Amino acid sequence: RLARADIERVLPHRRPFMFLESVDELEPGRRAVGTLADLREPDFDFLRGHFPDFRVVPGAIIMETLAELLGVAAASGLSEAGNKIGVLVEDKMRYRQMIRPGDVLRLEAEVTAMRRNIGRGNVRALLDGKVATEGEITFALVDKPKEL
């Protein structure tokens, strides 16, 4: 199990723009299962504007969290992972259920292709065992800038 501090060794993200809370299962370079952060925490206060009387987690945040999990799965399989960061190239997502702050999501990511520094993976978020979001993400693993 990787806690947030462990994830921060792989990803350059930090709060309030790190939404992955934990990685509960990991097969380096292949797949990962994780958990979305509790978006009711003060770090995520910006969500109170989406929408004030009926808060809904934007699909972009769900997709970002799935991309973070896919990045952990992909980068953890590399010997030079500490020198790389994952960047989004393309996404094809379907949103099937509304997610509210406080919902507990099971996140799944599987690397399906990797060629040089370009990869692709299937991702999905489950709420109460039902698919809430699913899709495919293409990413690139690029050299980490010297300032990181």
13 counts as catalytic: no
Look at strands 105-115 and 31-36 and give their pairing: antiparallel
What are the strands of the beta sheet with 84-95, ordered from one edge? 20-27, 31-36, 105-115, 118-127, 130-143, 84-95
CA distance 130 to 106: 10
Are the CB atoms for 127 and 99 separated by under 8 Å? yes
48, 50, 94, 96: the catalytic one is 50
| Element holding 36 (H helix, E strand) | strand 31-36
Catalytically annotated residues: 50
